[in-house]
A and B are shown apart, each in its own frame.
Chain A
Amino acid sequence: MKEHSLTLGEELRRQGISRRSFLKFCAGVASSMAIPATMVPAMAASLAQARRQSVIWMSYQECTACIESLTRAFSPTVENLIFNFISLDFQHALQAAAGDQAVEALRNAMDENWGKYLVLVDGSIPLKDDGIYSTSHGQTHLESLREVAEGAAAIVSIGTCAAYGGVGAARPNPTGAVGVEDIITDKPILNVPGCPPIPEVMTGVLTSFLAFGELPAVDRLKRPSAFFSDTIHDRCYRRPFYDQGKFAKSFDDEGARKGWCLFEVGCKGPITHNACATMKFNQGVSWPIQSGHGCLGCSEPNFWDKDSFYKPLSAGQWGSAEGIAIAAAAGVALGAASAVMSRKNQDKISGGK
């Protein structure tokens, strides 16, 4: 029997994975995606009947942190994810094949699963000068994305770069980098932003796709609502200190040591939607705020260009002081002109007396 013709249930049984472990996994995913516990048996049944999903992972203008993050997913482990749940047919950082052989694997996967495969993208795509600033195997990433996306069932943009352009698109954006949704408009697209994204969010989305055959519900920025509906601030364990007005004034003062709110040192938690505060990183060990640093807002579009990471959110973006000086000078000129006109009017009324 061909590997792809096995259902996931058959594949799991073949590998000796118990039903208890499988249900435990389903309950974990359902819980993280706010799916009711009553749905878990149905989800497990649906998932067990699913065929191995062909997944093609395209890496473009990126730093490999997204795949690094995914390989540190703990539930399910990347081994489970790759070998039990999906057929990762192309991922140039993980696969053994290189060069022509890797590209051949990609073409084969596309031909065999045309219209059904899932495309995962990390990294932004340069548009400037026809996209020549980022190429692989003699093909610009702009051409590559268009080609791969054509036969895709859906696309998942992994990381802020693939979702919104990210660091690559930061001012002055020399390569004209954009996210996937700025290029592909005729396919279902889901964004899993973050720099890097939380691994369990990525695996949760993939599992949801396998179980239900479609991408999960998304918010206005095409992020899975189950993970991105709350702000970091809403779920932050330091939130009570914000409400009490207790703030760290620097990264090594008494407030910082006591774990007080990091708003004054620039935390962007109040305007950042992500699940870091509840899911954390590295098997739930920690996350940036727990490690003592304010949230950078890395899962939001243009986070790199939103002023200093260390400036409080409520501080304005002043630009230059010249504008204020010009306003004051213009005010003096207008005031003087008004006074001159008023004096002339006074003279006219009084007849010069």
Chain B
Amino acid sequence: MTLLDFARGPAMQIAIFIFVLGIVWRLVGVWALRQKKDLSEPRQKGAWIGGIKGLFAHAWPYKPFVPYVGAQYIVGYVIHLGLFIVLFFGTPHMLFFADIVGFTWWTLPGGVITFVALITTVALFIALTKRLVNPVQRLISNFDDYATWFVTTLPFVTGLATTANLWPHYETGLAIHLLSVWLLLIYFPFGKLMHSFWFVVSRYTTGSRFARRGGMA
């Protein structure tokens, strides 16, 4: 069995097994916890409206903070949008998902995907540099932050190297790229990448609780 065969077969199956197990474990584990009762009198009706507002309220910083953290938000958007575009609109990636869902969709030319991936990789390195240079951010960063950055960046770097044929053998590069994605999937449920699932829940919960107490008007 070649490295590519291993990456396309057993490694993928193991990674997806761990990914699914970890995601379900985390979701069930948190949702099955005893919920904190709010014994206070609701200050206003329709707390759920506050919850919906909460989903969008943090999409851009509060105006006075824009000069300080605006650039950080932009870098964050570039990373997330870049990840989304490369993941769902790169033809080989789309075909991976199409194999699961059973239908295909429109994709972007390879050159555009490569450009977006390059921009996203640069944004990821800017984010890391800021984390290392800013004393406060460095102080509050832990292993999880760096590991999350590493497993997110690695597929971009290996994917770009494979596209540019920088490996001695294309198929080895492709295998390494796939393995780097499986590493991301394995780490996903156990680190901060879980925010993909939690950010909607936590923002809604915070918004609805604030609304119950009279906020989010």
Q: Find A242's partner among B27, B99, B110, B169 (CB 8 Å cutoff).
A: B110
The smallest C-beta distance from B152 to any residue of chain A, in angstroms, reads: 20
The smallest C-beta distance from A254 to any residue of chain B, in angstroms, reads: 15
Is B49 located at the chain interface by the 8 A CB criterion? no
Question: CA–CA, A327 to B95, complex, Å?
Answer: 24
Q: Find A342's partner among B33, B93, B104 (CB 8 Å cutoff).
A: B33
Interface-side segment among A16-24, A154-162, A305-313: A305-313
Contact-size category for B: 35 or more
Instruction: Report A-chain residues with C-beta under 8 Å of the C-beta of B8.
Output: 307, 316-317
Question: CA–CA, A317 to B10, complex, Å?
Answer: 8
Q: Which secondary structure characterizes the binding site on chain A?
A: helix
Is A335 located at the chain interface by the 8 A CB criterion? yes
Question: Which residues 302-335 in A have Cβ within 8 Å of B in the complex?
Answer: 302, 306-307, 311-319, 323-324, 326-328, 330-332, 334-335
Is A91 located at the chain interface by the 8 A CB criterion? no
Is A129 located at the chain interface by the 8 A CB criterion? no
Is A343 located at the chain interface by the 8 A CB criterion? yes
Asked if residues A316 and B32 are in contact (CB atoms below 8 Å), the reply is no
Q: Find A306's partner among B5, B22, B92, B165 (CB 8 Å cutoff).
A: B5
Is A301 located at the chain interface by the 8 A CB criterion? yes
Is A172 located at the chain interface by the 8 A CB criterion? no
Contact with A along B139-152 (1 / 0, CB 8 A): 00000000000000
Is B72 located at the chain interface by the 8 A CB criterion? no
Contact-size category for A: 35 or more
Instruction: Report B-chain residues with C-beta under 8 Å of the C-beta of A220.
Output: 169
Asked if residues B20 and A328 are in contact (CB atoms below 8 Å), the reply is yes
Q: Find B12's partner among A243, A316, A331, A339 (CB 8 Å cutoff).
A: A316
Question: CA–CA, A316 to B11, complex, Å?
Answer: 10
Given contacts A244-B110, A302-B5, contact A327 B24 (CB under 8 A): yes
Asked if residues A332 and B20 are in contact (CB atoms below 8 Å), the reply is no
The smallest C-beta distance from B194 to any residue of chain A, in angstroms, reads: 13
The smallest C-beta distance from A219 to any residue of chain B, in angstroms, reads: 9
The smallest C-beta distance from A339 to any residue of chain B, in angstroms, reads: 3
Question: CA–CA, A15 to B149, complex, Å?
Answer: 72
Asked if residues A318 and B91 are in contact (CB atoms below 8 Å), the reply is no
Instruction: Report B-chain residues with C-beta under 8 Å of the C-beta of A327.
Output: 16-21, 24
The smallest C-beta distance from A260 to any residue of chain B, in angstroms, reads: 12
Is A132 located at the chain interface by the 8 A CB criterion? no
Is A255 located at the chain interface by the 8 A CB criterion? no
Given contacts A270-B170, A336-B32, contact A315 B109 (CB under 8 A): no
Instruction: Report A-chain residues with C-beta under 8 Å of the C-beta of B2.
Output: 301-302
The smallest C-beta distance from B6 to any residue of chain A, in angstroms, reads: 10
Asked if residues A264 and B104 are in contact (CB atoms below 8 Å), the reply is yes
Question: CA–CA, A200 to B1, complex, Å?
Answer: 30
Asked if residues B20 and A324 are in contact (CB atoms below 8 Å), the reply is yes
The smallest C-beta distance from B210 to any residue of chain A, in angstroms, reads: 24
A-B contact pairs, 15 of them (CB 8 A): A243-B109, A244-B111, A263-B91, A270-B171, A312-B98, A312-B99, A314-B93, A315-B95, A317-B13, A323-B17, A331-B20, A331-B25, A334-B25, A335-B31, A339-B30
Contact residues of B with A, CB < 8 Å?
1-2, 4-5, 8-9, 12-13, 16-34, 91-93, 95-96, 98-99, 104, 107-112, 165, 169-171, 174
Closest 5 CB pairs of A and B: A335-B28, A331-B24, A339-B32, A314-B92, A315-B99
